[in-house]
Amino acid sequence: MGGYSDGYDVVGDVHGYSEVLERLLAKMGYRIVDGVYRHPDRQVVFVGDLIDRGPGQIKTVSIARSMVEAGSALMVMGNHEFNAIAWTVKNSAGGWCRPHTEANFGQHAAFLAAVGENSADHRDWIEWFAQLPMWLDLGGLRVVHACWHLPSMTKMAALGDGQLTPEIVTAPKGSELYEALEVVLKGPEIEMMGYTYKDKVGICREKARLRWWDPEINNLANAVEIPSGVTNCNGGAFGPLPEEPVDTAVLDALTYEVPILYGHYWRQGHRPVIDSPRTACLDWSVAGDGQLVAYRWSGETDLTDDNLVAVDSLA
């Protein structure tokens, strides 16, 4: 087996679009040898969210798993793999860790239908998801599904050294452990200092997504991402937010000394671009007629747009 000395090809959220994944792997020079996609001197890293939404659920996870087992890929857990696990686990109150609501079922229906809920195959895939690392520190490169956030990672690592544990899966909503998992797999949010907005399903939000990937953030106005076209919770125009300094504890938790690659954020646009020389999102909405994107990293300390490779979802 090769030494993969030339670097990592980090692949964004696939969400069951196996045919698009196969086109991306082929474009990067991966070929099927003994039933497994391989490259003579590079290795894939999946950022998580292989499942839900698309037409090739089992094909997608089978491609990734065969590559991981053969050593031609690594993978971190996405929030969709975590939710798939939590869907099958009861909490101490007797309910499901991932509540079986209509909305949650809708998000997970394509995978459940493809695998057969409660089948032996279903149990086998859940076991495989459960042993995935929640982040990978590859020396000169860090890979995580949503956010590289040291305080949250430290809390979880104290239990499982970067692996999921039953305590983390069953942690009650609002607990420190629950919040730590949310930050790493779904991304951090911060309070808007009394400002509110109504989200697309009509829920009043007092927190907004933190633009953690931007090393320049320093005030409320530039630190949060607000969906376009929202109103405040009284129905009036939202914002503008004040340029008030953000809590230094929020900023101190972020780190940019090594490039960080992640998915999760449903970026859109004709051409993928990096967020900064140390941060790049690889989720370009393949499930929304967007693109499947990889970053081809070969040891550089500053990321560049030139190393992004994309294939269209519709082709």
Interacting residue ranges for Mn ion, rule: CB under 5 A: 13, 49
In angstroms, give the least distance from the CB of 84 to Mn ion: 12
Give 50 or 74: the residue with its C-beta nearer to Mn ion. 50
In angstroms, give the least distance from the CB of 185 to Mn ion: 10
Nearest-CA neighbor of 254 among 276, 285, 284?
276
In angstroms, give the least distance from the CB of 287 to Mn ion: 8
Give 13 or 275: the residue with its C-beta nearer to Mn ion. 13
Give 48 or 259: the residue with its C-beta nearer to Mn ion. 48
Give 39 or 53: the residue with its C-beta nearer to Mn ion. 53
In angstroms, give the least distance from the CB of 144 to Mn ion: 13
Give 195 or 265: the residue with its C-beta nearer to Mn ion. 265
In angstroms, give the least distance from the CB of 157 to Mn ion: 23
